[in-house]
Structure 1
Amino acid sequence: MSEYTQSLKISTSIARLRAEANVTQAVLAKESGLDQSRVSRIEKGEVVSSADVDRVLEALDVLGTPSAKAFMEYIDREWQHVEPPSFWNPERACLEITEDTLNEIETFLAEEDHPWPLRRQIERQRESLLRAASFLGRLHHNIAFIGDMGVGKSTAISFIFDLLVPPSLADKTFNRPVLETGAGGTTICEVHIKAGPEFGISLLPMSDAEMRELVSDFCASKWALHMSEQREAGETVGISREAERAIRNMTGLGRKRETVEGKIVYQDPVGDVAKSSSSEDEFRTRILTLMNLDDRTRREFWYDSSTRKHPMEWVTETFKAVNNGRLKDAPLPKSIDLLIPSFGRAFGELDITVIDTKGVDDVAVREDLDHRLKDPRTTVVFCSRFNDAPGTSTRVLLQHMRQTFSERFDTGKVSVLALPRSEEARAMKDDLGEQALTDAEGYEFKRMQVSSELSAEDLAGVPMLFYNVEADEAATVRGDLFAQLSRMRKAVEERLFDLCAASQDIIKNHEAQALNAAIEEVANRLNTFLRGNRGLGAREQLAHVDAINTIKGVRYASTLWASTRRGGEYTGLNVVHLIGVGAARDAKRRSESWFKSLDAFLKSLKADEGLTLANRTIDQIAASAAATKRAFLEAAQLGGVEVYRKPLSQTPVWSACASEWGRGPGFKLRVADHLENWFSNETELKDRLEQMINGLWEQKVIAPLVRLVEESAPEADPTPSNIIPLKGRMSA
């Protein structure tokens, strides 16, 4: 940490300590013997002497500030291994113990005469300590809301986090949300709400290629209507409602309302442009010209008090304009950041970003949602209507997590938020058919119902939350969400304490022959197990099968049509991503019996009274095995993507697939047939992926465990976990 950063942290902490003690700068200056201007400079982070800081802290201690003495000890502590945490970090005490343990480990490893099994175990624990400490040292977390379109997700977020215009500025309660709401298909992209220096909106624009692909889809669908091409079972292709609305606004070609012979009709200027164009290429060029993309360069918008609008009113209007493509200098966004001063204050020391994901309208296993599901710093809130809870997409994604990640559901990672409307909770009935007398009782009936359903699907342990924006206190559900984040951090903190205790046991008792003998015996037995159980099970399902099944089950032909026009890599249906998911699911299935055998073996070691002294060692081996499993499955998914991405992007099969549109019913099945034939013929890719999966098994699972039990074993996993070695791939 730089001296400037350290000085800034100390200064802001001193200001906070003084404020918490309800002491003025004048009183503090008098007690410390400094000028008030000097105290002010200290709190502003200007260069001051450590002696002045000590005098101020001593004065705060005398004035009865509870944490002043602890803060003096905190700034005197030296951090060699762990990034110095904030004084206000809830897990600071655990991180201090971790730093002390790492110092002891460094001293222990500096002495080369210790038995190698002890050294290997301590080395492994040092790596785990550093990873866990890095996680707890950071205070930033995400809360990602995921749900089907139209369930009320954006409305709930607005009310839960007080993203509302004042009641006096809205005619109805439901018109108060800052986030644009509607019956689904409203928000054009993912929205991030976070703390900022002032009220503002920042956007990440679509790339030029993404923008042109979207416009190309828009024009292709409109041109097809103009040419009266055959429709798929009465269905038309096109882009999402929110994207079409934005393009129309950006081009000035919004539908116009007219009254003809007493009836209201809408004239479509886009159709007029199409009719006056000689080809689809000319039509697309004219649409792009009308959008003035070169002039759309503005990325940030900041509240100006001279507008005399309430800040939240300004945010609401500006967000709506950006989201709908109404600003002449703003591009179409890929994501939007809403910056709100002091946002997330209710979560204490944690720095929170709330993420409103794009609603699920068709395929739930999307790449953007996968990113949230796999991010260890994100707690996911699955939103659903009360009567439909837990909801279709929730079930699909929970099953996806179970089949692909081996994720536990009771660690704070996920929860289900049911969004009841008036009287829905009280319409619930108990087993005797008696209706609920209160909303709380109705919530409990629904909780029991959903818990039973999820348990039957092997999805037990998912917390169930409820929030009625008209009747329930937002603070209650905020507290529930904070509890989820705390549970995530608590699990890592407990892991850190266990690692510290295990390391200190070895360091403290390393000279005891009984301990050395027990650890060495565990190593020998594990080595024997690995020698007899090294191979990965046989492949159970080809990686592309899940992708083909998803294509056959797509709800809207438009989703598949858009994917075929992009070589299979469309945000709403990414075939390459689904191949990676399929590879990970197969890797999980074929490794499941091996990990169960290892678990049973380790339990048998713990049951051996002669190995009692090595129980902590056995526990750490189990934890290491769990970590290797996660690493293997993540690498398998990445491997499936890496093997198939380039060949799929270059094959002409996509042109054949796209050309199937307009040839009558059965578009989805015809596309699936084309792709199945292509996959069947690409035997080399199947073999290449199989070779990679087996190599990853050896690299990610076997090698790290062998390193613990064989003195001559090389360093395990020398490459970063996000690098997949491909046969014939040139190194950078």
Structure 2
Amino acid sequence: MLTITWQEEIASLKQDLRKEINKISGHSEINIPNHICINNLKSKLERLDEIEKILSIEKYKIAFIGTVGQGKTTAICHLFNLISDFHVSKNTKELLSTGSGKTTICEVIIKSAEKTYIEIEPYTVDEMENLIFEFCEYIADKNNTQADQKTIISTEVERAIRNIIKMNFYNKKIDGVKNKTKRIDTAKEKLDLFGFVEFKKLALNNANLQSRITNKIEFDHQKNEQEWIKNTFAAINNVELEEFAIPRKIYLYLSYDVLSGSNLSQFDSVVDTKGLDENPIRKDLQKYIESQDTICLFVTPFNDAPEANIRNLIGYYLTSKSKDFHHRFVTLVLPHKNQPEQVNGCDGDWDTGIQIRKEEVQTTFRNLNLDFFLENILFYDAFRYYGDDIYTKEYVQADKNEFIEAIADVVERRQNILLDEIKNIQENFTRIKNGDALTIAEIKAIENAIQRIKDLRDLSKSVPSHNFKDQGQDKGFVTKYVEHYRTNPKAWNTKHAIHSNFGYYDPKNIDIYYDMRVIAEGRNEDEMLKKFTKPAKQELENILNELTSANESLKTFIPELVIQFHSLYDNFISEVGKKIQKKAEEKLSPQSETSKFWEALINEKGKVRPPDETYTDNVCQTLKNELEKDKSLNTFLEIQTVKHWEKLVIKLLSFFGDK
């Protein structure tokens, strides 16, 4: 007996749908029932196209996303055998740079290949020059005790710059004291010796930025391949090689020889994203989170799972009900030592502790009104079986394989959900073809629903204008964004770097225009646009659901329309957010030194100010004034919200053949 493949099933179903659409469209009069039927069938066609693309994905990317210092890179190394020779005594070393956080300077993409090599996407000379000058200011500012004025740079950037400019620490013997040394900062020595201006010149000269043009290095077969990977990756990550620039991204290609026993080749690639810090909802993560071919593993410590950054990031996306992010989202909990055995109620049993914690994590998501599959909450302890001679390499590998199988199960569950959806579409289509004509009462109910939907077209009637502006304790969009910017980022010099780059700062993945979009949309259902429009959204849903509950024939059509409505709503939120992002870019243009606005922000650095003024206060006020002058972004947000809501309602009405 021949088995019909899903490809054949989709192709046949799409053909039947098109025939039925053409048949109904050929009627001399297209009435409300015909409109409903045609639009329902068209939406089925569109959905089948989406399903076909997803089911055609051969290999998924696996993106690890987590807060700095939570063990993300360590987990990757152990899961995919990027370690030195196995020893249960814990002497096994990861091939990628790991530590207590702030070790990897950038995003790392790991792929299997025929040969081992490392490639980078480099920073430009100008970008590196700016980082060097920022480092020089950091050295000059080390003794500054005023937090608001203290220059702060990340550990990984400091490490890289010191290597580039050849100004690291060294130990100096203390005269007259046996076996005692003092740690000396070469950079501070040079600053004290030459003064700030000459110190900057020396640092830039030492860096020799123009010669850093090499982007690729291949395994030379001169030493052990694993050792080469470990040493070369560390050298590139720390910018110890004089021919390499600071990497914006590192691509690590690993040969099948070094990957013996690894599960890496099952996936298109494994991505170690830059660790989350003050602002978890970042533009650079969006491409992975929204890509249909990527499984996102949100890494979180055991005792705090899911920790705040992960809750906020997942929450921002899972409020979009139509996009099925939860099918591709995995919460990866990393237990440490005997934490599972210490969970209340587990009686010291590791597995029971894991199960209790898993249910607690899901409860946390439920309390936040977020869908998350229990099966997509996974646990992995890279060192669980180390330090005990009773465990062998095979035992540890079996533990890794079990985890990788759990990831494969995530993919398989997603595929099965989609295969079931194909069957549901087929069954629903059959009911439509064989169904009875709508009764007069049902058509009357639809007409009544259409009128009620029309009554909701003007959002300004249900969402007062003051929601978009400062009103008592309630803050408008601009104020909310500026409050966000006040603490994200915290360091004044990072703000200055953002101003010098006219709203962007790549080393920390900052894009203030994207951040404005996020704030405008609402980071969760209880903020900004998502909050203001929630009642109107719920009312529209109620109208559609009432049609289904009261009219038997409409049960074939309306549930699918509710799903479409969720998609329309999510697109509405996204479109308004994009408009804010674009308008903010226009409002703060030109993004150049000719702009008086950017000049004012840049000139706040080093400015003498009264005791009651601070750098942060001044730049935030300047930014607020700019965003509110002429036509305020608050007003723009209100106008765009009303405009795009009307478009949403019109699209919903078009399902019934009305406008």
TM-score range, shorter chain: 0.7 to 0.9
- The answer on 1:124 being equivalent to 2:43 is yes
**Aligned residue identity for 2:114:** P
- Tell me which residue corresponds to 1:245: 159
Question: Which residues in structure 2 correspond to 1:435-446 (within 5 Å)?
Answer: 436-446=347-357
Shift of 1:656: 5.3
Residues 411 and 487, structure 1, Cα contact 8 Å, conserved in 2: no
Taking the aligned partners of 2:521 and 2:260, their CA distance within structure 1 comes to 36
Residues 139 and 350, structure 1, Cα contact 8 Å, conserved in 2: no
Residues 57 and 293, structure 2, Cα contact 8 Å, conserved in 1: no
Residues 656 and 674, structure 1, Cα contact 8 Å, conserved in 2: no
Counterpart of 1:401 (choices 317, 325, 328) is 317
Shift of 1:109: 4.0
Shift of 1:454: 4.3
Residues 199 and 341, structure 1, Cα contact 8 Å, conserved in 2: yes
Instruction: Deviation per CA, 1:515-537: give whole Å up to 9, x if none.
Output: 69899667645533332221235
Taking the aligned partners of 2:400 and 2:325, their CA distance within structure 1 comes to 23
Residues 410 and 461, structure 1, Cα contact 8 Å, conserved in 2: no
- Structure 1 residues 302 and 172 mapped into 2: Cα distance closer, same or farther (>3 Å)? farther
Taking the aligned partners of 1:455 and 1:688, their CA distance within structure 2 comes to 34
Counterpart of 1:154 (choices 73, 78, 101) is 73
SS at match of 1:594: helix
Instruction: Deviation per CA, 1:492-515: give whole Å up to 9, x if none.
Output: 444444334434544x44xx6616
Residues 496 and 602, structure 2, Cα contact 8 Å, conserved in 1: no
Structure 2: gaps spanning 5 or more residues: 386-398, 469-475, 523-527
Instruction: Deviation per CA, 1:306-361: give whole Å up to 9, x if none.
Output: 3241x333222221111010122222111112223467998799643222111223
- Tell me which residue corresponds to 2:407: 481
Instruction: Deviation per CA, 1:197-234: give whole Å up to 9, x if none.
Output: 32222221123443333233223323445xx6x44239
Taking the aligned partners of 1:561 and 1:174, their CA distance within structure 2 comes to 44
Taking the aligned partners of 2:113 and 2:442, their CA distance within structure 1 comes to 52
Tell me which moved more, 104-113 or 598-607: 104-113
Structure 1: gaps spanning 5 or more residues: 1-68, 74-91, 714-732
Taking the aligned partners of 1:234 and 1:124, their CA distance within structure 2 comes to 55
Residues 568 and 654, structure 1, Cα contact 8 Å, conserved in 2: no
SS at match of 2:51: helix
- Structure 1 residues 566 and 478 mapped into 2: Cα distance closer, same or farther (>3 Å)? same
SS at match of 2:305: coil
Question: Which residues in structure 2 correspond to 1:297-308 (within 5 Å)?
Answer: 297-304=213-220, 306-308=221-223
Taking the aligned partners of 1:278 and 1:397, their CA distance within structure 2 comes to 45
Task: Give the RMSD, CA atoms, in angstroms.
Answer: 3.5
- Structure 1 residues 438 and 707 mapped into 2: Cα distance closer, same or farther (>3 Å)? same
- Structure 1 residues 450 and 684 mapped into 2: Cα distance closer, same or farther (>3 Å)? closer
Residues 111 and 254, structure 2, Cα contact 8 Å, conserved in 1: yes
Instruction: Deviation per CA, 1:38-66: give whole Å up to 9, x if none.
Output: xxxxxxxxxxxxxxxxxxxxxxxxxxxxx
Shift of 1:143: 2.2
Taking the aligned partners of 1:518 and 1:345, their CA distance within structure 2 comes to 66
- Structure 1 residues 149 and 521 mapped into 2: Cα distance closer, same or farther (>3 Å)? same
- The answer on 1:411 being equivalent to 2:326 is yes
- The answer on 1:266 being equivalent to 2:208 is no
Counterpart of 2:576 (choices 620, 636, 656) is 636
Residues 580 and 633, structure 2, Cα contact 8 Å, conserved in 1: no
Taking the aligned partners of 2:560 and 2:192, their CA distance within structure 1 comes to 71
Shift of 1:550: 2.4
Residues 112 and 265, structure 2, Cα contact 8 Å, conserved in 1: no
Taking the aligned partners of 2:264 and 2:232, their CA distance within structure 1 comes to 29
Shift of 1:101: 1.5
The two structures have a TM-score, normalised by structure 1, of: 0.74
- Structure 1 residues 534 and 161 mapped into 2: Cα distance closer, same or farther (>3 Å)? same
Tell me which moved more, 459-468 or 519-528: 519-528
Instruction: Deviation per CA, 1:253-294: give whole Å up to 9, x if none.
Output: 2222222224322333323444465664x5444433322223
Tell me which moved more, 214-223 or 638-647: 214-223
Shift of 1:174: 5.8
- Tell me which residue corresponds to 1:599: 541
- Tell me which residue corresponds to 2:336: 421
Identical pairs, percent: 21
- Structure 1 residues 591 and 234 mapped into 2: Cα distance closer, same or farther (>3 Å)? closer
Residues 232 and 661, structure 1, Cα contact 8 Å, conserved in 2: no
SS at match of 2:82: coil
**Aligned residue identity for 1:527:** I
Residues 409 and 462, structure 1, Cα contact 8 Å, conserved in 2: no
- Structure 1 residues 132 and 631 mapped into 2: Cα distance closer, same or farther (>3 Å)? farther
SS at match of 2:424: helix
Residues 215 and 244, structure 2, Cα contact 8 Å, conserved in 1: yes
Residues 322 and 566, structure 2, Cα contact 8 Å, conserved in 1: no
Taking the aligned partners of 1:376 and 1:661, their CA distance within structure 2 comes to 52
SS at match of 1:307: coil
Instruction: Deviation per CA, 1:570-595: give whole Å up to 9, x if none.
Output: 34343322211122122222222222
Shift of 1:703: 3.5
Shift of 1:150: 1.4
SS at match of 1:544: helix
Shift of 1:476: 2.5
- Tell me which residue corresponds to 1:626: 566
Residues 256 and 266, structure 1, Cα contact 8 Å, conserved in 2: yes
- Tell me which residue corresponds to 2:657: 710
Taking the aligned partners of 2:340 and 2:406, their CA distance within structure 1 comes to 19
Shift of 1:144: 1.9
Instruction: Deviation per CA, 1:349-393: give whole Å up to 9, x if none.
Output: 964322211122322232223443333433322222223322232
Taking the aligned partners of 1:211 and 1:361, their CA distance within structure 2 comes to 22
Q: Work out which structure has the larger RCO, using CA pairs closer than 8 Å and 6 or more positions apart in sequence.
A: 2
**Aligned residue identity for 1:94:** W
Counterpart of 1:581 (choices 518, 525, 537) is 518
The two structures have a TM-score, normalised by structure 2, of: 0.82
Tell me which moved more, 405-414 or 286-295: 405-414
- Tell me which residue corresponds to 1:461: 372
- The answer on 1:100 being equivalent to 2:8 is no
Residues 386 and 419, structure 1, Cα contact 8 Å, conserved in 2: yes
Taking the aligned partners of 2:38 and 2:311, their CA distance within structure 1 comes to 45
Question: Which residues in structure 2 correspond to 1:123-202 (within 5 Å)?
Answer: 123-167=42-86, 173=90, 175-202=92-119
